[in-house]
Amino acid sequence: MTGEEKIRRAFDHKNWHEIKVTDSWQIFKIMAEFVDGFEKLAKIGPCVSIFGSARTTSDHKYYNLTVDIAARLTNHGFGVISGGGPGIMEAANKGAYEAGGKSVGLNIDLPFEEFHNKYIDRDKLMKFDYFFVRKVMFMKYSQGFIVLPGGFGTLDELFEAITLIQTGKVARFPIVLVGTEYWGGLFSWISDHMLRANNISPDDMNLFRMVDTAEAATEHIFRFYDKYVLKPNF
């Protein structure tokens, strides 16, 4: 039974499909997405989320690098979570799937992601209507973030994670950015302007790591959990 079905049964409202779209009743549809997400993802076990552009083609170096990263994570016992779409997300699921690991997709309908990729385990595909619910699932059930080059959506997920860790709202987990040629300019600006203006502290620059290889990306995750216990982040 889905979260929506549970809530519908609890309220037994004859006009469910009419009332769930109003502002006051929309909260129950939101609750249903949370219920479904918590129930399914809590059973999957330790996972690492991989983010990046939906527009990355399968012949791009970052696509192939992502496949390698996902396979390495799988071989170390981690499941892999992606946004479920094409590009880097597809590469992440492909690497996990072909290595025989858990391949999870948290899908949402977007202009450049009209369908979920074929490498997601059928019982681990979830579809969301609400961005913020989907992001909670990434934050709660990912034991690490590996971030490949992407656009505004990738930046949104990256900086939300950094902000939540910085403010102590979630337990610290490793964040790895892959591709210094892509990310280097952005984080030089952060160091040269935000840090110099005292808008962040020097320790905040240690909340993430920039690397260029699949081995370096995954080893940072593995070393982190040689010290800390694997558990949901909040």
Give CA–CA dist 81/145, Å, rounded: 9
Do 128 and 80 sit in the same domain of this protein? Answer: yes
pLDDT tens by residue, 199-222: 999 999 999 999 999 999 999 999
Q: Judging by beta carbons within 10 Å of its beta carbon (0-12, 13-18, 19+), is residue 55 exposed, middle or buried?
A: middle
Reported as type and span, the H/E element at residue 150 is: none
Structure tokens at 173: 């987990």
User: Are the C-beta atoms of residues 52 and 201 closer than 8 Å to each other?
Assistant: no
Question: What's the mean pLDDT in 94-98?
Answer: 98
Is residue 234 assigned to a domain? no
pLDDT tens by residue, 5-28: 666 665 555 555 555 556 777 888
Tokens 């981690």: give the residue. 78
Do 100 and 209 sit in the same domain of this protein? Answer: yes
pLDDT tens by residue, 124-159: 999 999 999 999 999 999 999 999 999 999 999 999
Do 36 and 124 sit in the same domain of this protein? Answer: no
User: Are the C-beta atoms of residues 78 and 101 closer than 8 Å to each other?
Assistant: yes
Do 3 and 65 sit in the same domain of this protein? Answer: no
User: Are the C-beta atoms of residues 144 and 219 closer than 8 Å to each other?
Assistant: no
Q: Judging by beta carbons within 10 Å of its beta carbon (0-12, 13-18, 19+), is residue 123 exposed, middle or buried?
A: exposed
Band of residue 178 on the pLDDT scale cut at 50, 70, 90: very high
Q: Please state the pTM of the whole predicted model.
A: 0.87
Domain boundary among 43, 58, 73: 43
Do 60 and 170 sit in the same domain of this protein? Answer: yes
Residue 115 domain boundaries? 46-227
Distances (CA, A) of 113 to 85, 89, 154, 215: 5, 10, 14, 29
Task: State how many domains the chain has.
Answer: 2
DSSP-assigned letter for residue 122:
G
Do 9 and 57 sit in the same domain of this protein? Answer: no
Phi-psi label, residue 198: left if phi above 0, alpha if psi -120 to 50, beta otherwise: left
Do 3 and 97 sit in the same domain of this protein? Answer: no
Contacts with 101 (C-beta within 8 Å, 6 or more apart), sequence order: 70, 71, 73, 74, 75, 78, 79, 80
SS (H, E, C) 194-233: HHCCCCCCHHHHHCCEEECCHHHHHHHHHHHHHHCCCCCC
pLDDT tens by residue, 161-176: 999 999 999 989 999 9
